[in-house]
């Protein structure tokens, strides 16, 4: 029987998945790279340690301290230094005084945080030449010096702190100095000539003179020098400018042009004096109503004690109960109240002008430009610009 050799059927080829194979190869490559990096001290070597790092020396017995293959160098632990609390120096009030003094500042007292309130008046006292002689306007009225005694009585009666007087002729000035010694006067007769006719008087218990000057104002013939003074209130330390004027009347012909020029000069002075934030109060016989008030308030940003003001771009000037030419003006940082035009002065043969008086309120000194505040020992202290006292201070 013949033999028969059987044949196997061919086996199908095995297919190796490509993606798993590639992933395996990449994994092997990464492991190999890591081993090389570790042995070479590469950037990842510091992330691992080996048992070799705990032994000293190399397998060959080297004691150089440098890691060999298979070792990883480990950084020494950082030294911890205990923190220190730094003490902060808080300047004392005296130290701040010295620091701010170099900047022209001085510490203000408690009064510097309070508003400054006082009574102010404008009063044409009627010059001596206008009474008591046959050719005068009022021949039967008392003489100028005797009438001034009544002026002093009015100032005391109404607690007037500052007054701008017009037509205060030299005999009347001397009588005033004797009748009202509690007041200082500028310019009086201190500069010679006729400036005493327009003088400012302030109660020395309330004010100290800081600065004083005269401005030429158009008048009949040559200009007349008229005063402005910077006063410091003794109760609060507040600085306030006061100016006093008597613009020309029409007694010697139409003087409207001179009055208009006078108002322009006076308004410009207010702008200059108030530029640093110092309040300004004007008193005077301007010999005009709207013609003086409207340009003054517009050009100098002022308002009047009788309520005249610039509102909505329009000039509002009260005409009742009676229009007057005597004024008290103030810058915007001055508030007025209790305005009175007292015509009893005519009935009492003191003057042919009314006495204008009003209460003025000025914001605290600490509201001035340039003031600084610091808290020392839990107290709020203030330093404000220093004003030197005039040698002729009252």
User: Quick one: 39 and 136 in the same domain?
Assistant: no
Q: For 104-156, write each residue's pLDDT tens digit.
A: 999 988 888 999 999 999 999 998 888 878 777 788 898 889 999 999 999 99
In-domain check, residue 129: yes
Domain boundary among 9, 33, 52: 52
Q: Closest Cα to residue 117, out of 231, 1, 253, 238?
A: 238
Q: For 216-232, write each residue's pLDDT tens digit.
A: 999 999 999 999 999 99
- According to the model, what pLDDT value does residue 76 have? 73
- According to the model, what pLDDT value does residue 84 have? 72
- According to the model, what pLDDT value does residue 176 have? 96
Q: How do 302-304 and 280-285 pair as beta strands?
A: unpaired
Are 217 and 223 in contact by the 8 Å Cβ rule? The answer is yes
Q: For 12-59, write each residue's pLDDT tens digit.
A: 555 556 655 555 656 555 555 544 454 555 554 444 444 444 444 444
User: Quick one: 149 and 295 in the same domain?
Assistant: yes
Average pLDDT of span 74-99: 81
In-domain check, residue 95: no
User: Quick one: 147 and 41 in the same domain?
Assistant: no
Domain count, the chain: 2
- pLDDT score of 377 more than 50: yes
User: Quick one: 150 and 223 in the same domain?
Assistant: yes
- pLDDT score of 351 more than 90: yes
- How far is Cα 280 from Cα 218, in angstroms, rounded to an integer? 21
Average pLDDT, the chain: 84
In the structure, what pLDDT confidence band is assigned to residue 207 with cuts at 50, 70 and 90?
very high
- According to the model, what pLDDT value does residue 156 have? 98
In order of 167, 282, 306, the CA distances from 75 in angstroms are 98, 83, 88
CATH number of the domain residue 327 falls in: 3.60.10.10
Are 147 and 126 in contact by the 8 Å Cβ rule? The answer is yes
- According to the model, what pLDDT value does residue 14 have? 54
Residue 218: give the domain boundaries. Answer: 115-363
Instruction: Enter the pTM of the model.
Output: 0.74
Average pLDDT of span 330-347: 96
- Percent of the chain past pLDDT 90, that is, above it, reads 61
Lowest mean pLDDT among 80-84, 95-99, 112-116: 80-84
User: Quick one: 47 and 152 in the same domain?
Assistant: no
Within 8 A by CB and 6+ apart from 176, the residues are: 148, 151, 152, 168, 183, 185, 201
Q: For 264-312, write each residue's pLDDT tens digit.
A: 999 999 999 999 899 999 999 999 999 999 999 999 999 999 999 999 9
Are 317 and 290 in contact by the 8 Å Cβ rule? The answer is yes
Within 8 A by CB and 6+ apart from 83, the residues are: none
User: Quick one: 45 and 120 in the same domain?
Assistant: no
């Amino acid at each position: 029987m013949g033999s028969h050799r059987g044949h196997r059927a061919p086996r199908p080829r095995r297919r190796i998945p490509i993606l798993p194979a590639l992933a395996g190869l990449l994994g092997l490559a990464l492991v190999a790279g890591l081993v090389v990096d570790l042995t070479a001290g590469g950037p990842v070597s510091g992330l691992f340690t080996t048992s070799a790092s705990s032994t000293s020396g190399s397998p060959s017995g080297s004691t150089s301290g440098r890691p060999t293959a298979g070792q990883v160098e480990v950084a020494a632990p950082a030294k911890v230094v205990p923190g220190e609390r730094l003490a902060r120096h808080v300047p004392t009030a005296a130290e701040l005084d010295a620091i701010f003094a170099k900047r022209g500042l001085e510490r203000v007292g408690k009064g510097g945080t309070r508003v400054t309130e006082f009574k102010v008046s404008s009063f044409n006292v009627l010059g001596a030449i206008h009474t008591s002689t046959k050719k005068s306007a009022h021949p039967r009225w008392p003489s100028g010096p005797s009438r001034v005694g009544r002026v002093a009585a009015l100032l005391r009666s109404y607690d007037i702190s500052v007054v701008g007087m017009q037509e205060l002729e030299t005999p009347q000035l001397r009588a005033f100095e004797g009748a009202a010694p509690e007041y200082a006067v500028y310019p009086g007769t201190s500069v010679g000539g006729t400036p005493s006719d327009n003088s400012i008087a302030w109660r020395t218990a309330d004010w100290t003179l800081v600065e004083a000057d005269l401005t030429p104002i158009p008048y009949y013939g040559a200009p007349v020098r008229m005063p402005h003074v910077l006063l410091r209130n003794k109760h609060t330390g507040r600085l306030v400018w006061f100016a006093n004027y008597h613009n020309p009347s029409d007694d010697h012909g139409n003087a409207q042009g001179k009055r208009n020029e006078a108002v322009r000069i006076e308004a410009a002075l207010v702008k200059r004096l108030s530029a640093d934030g110092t309040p300004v109060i004007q008193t005077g016989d301007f010999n005009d109503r709207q013609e003086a008030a409207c340009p003054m308030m517009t050009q100098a940003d002022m308002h009047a004690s009788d309520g005249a003001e610039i509102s909505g771009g329009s000039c509002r000037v009260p005409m009742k109960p009676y229009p007057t030419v005597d004024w008290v003006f103030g810058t915007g940082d001055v508030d007025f109240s209790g305005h009175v035009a007292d015509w009893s002065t005519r009935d009492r043969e003191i003057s042919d002008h009314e006495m204008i008086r009003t209460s003025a309120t000025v914001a605290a000194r600490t509201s001035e430009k340039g003031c600084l505040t610091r808290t020392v020992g839990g107290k709020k202290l203030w330093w404000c610009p220093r004003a030197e006292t005039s040698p002729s201070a009252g």
